[in-house]
Amino acid sequence: MLMHKMDWSKNIGHKTRVMHNYIDKYFHTSWEKKGIEPTRMQCATLHYLRANQEKEVFQKDLEATFSISGATATNILKVMEKDDLIRREPVPTDARLKKLVLTEKGIAFDDAARENIVRLEEGMKKGFTEEELTIFREYLDRMTQNIVDLVEENTK
């Protein structure tokens, strides 16, 4: 059998994993002893709740927005509730739902996180033209769809 030797330096899945992990690391290193350190997904959740304060937001909305499973969402929200960044309130009209509400502390941390998010957004794009970014997004969407198709083939 001919040995197929993978060149990891050209592997797009590998590159994606590495980039993904560095983004986590960015958030981890962005807090110089301000007490707590909201993680990447916590910052994203704070941001989402803040931007949708006029609406009612439930766990299922986070799951759809961020493409995470129910179990993952429960984990993230459990930690955030423990750290007093959010509350989960019952909804009178539907006992299955729990309304997600920012606490005062959650709002304060969202303010603090905002500059970190903006700095990352700007910094990531350094040296990229708008055209390149559009192509980059399109490639990511296309390749993700290819992988989704493979997963569906596996599970059909």
Partner DNA sequence: TAATAAAAGTTAGTAGGCTAACTATTAGTG
Partner DNA sequence: CACTAATAGTTAGCCTACTAACTTTTATTA
Asked if 75 and 69 count as a contact pair (C-beta separation under 8 A), the reply is no
Query: Minimum distance between the CB of residue 36 and a copy of itself, rounded to whole angstroms?
Result: 17
Q: Which residues pair with 98 in a beta bridge?
A: 90
Contact track, DNA, 83-122, x by CB under 7 A:
x----x----xxxxxx------------------------
Contact track, DNA, 7-26, x by CB under 7 A:
----------x---x--xx-
Q: Which does 139 bind (CB under 5 to 8 A by kind): a copy of itself, DNA, none?
A: a copy of itself
Task: Identify which of 96, 81, 89, 70 has the alpha carbon closest to the alpha carbon of residue 46.
Answer: 81
Asked if 47 and 113 count as a contact pair (C-beta separation under 8 A), the reply is yes
Q: Which does 77 bind (CB under 5 to 8 A by kind): a copy of itself, DNA, none?
A: DNA
Told to check if 79 binds DNA by CB under 7 A, we report yes
3-state SS of 52-68 is CCCCCCEHHHHHHHHCC
Quick one: which of 16, 53, 75, 144 contacts DNA (CB under 7 A)? 75
- Residues 29-68, interacting with DNA (CB under 7 A): 39-42, 58-60, 63, 66-68
Contacts of 77 (CB under 8 A, 6+ apart): 45, 59, 62, 86, 88, 100
Other beta carbons less than 10 A from residue 23's beta carbon = 12
Residues forming contacts to DNA in the complex (CB under 7 A) are: 17, 21, 24-25, 28, 39-42, 58-60, 63, 66-79, 83, 88, 93-98
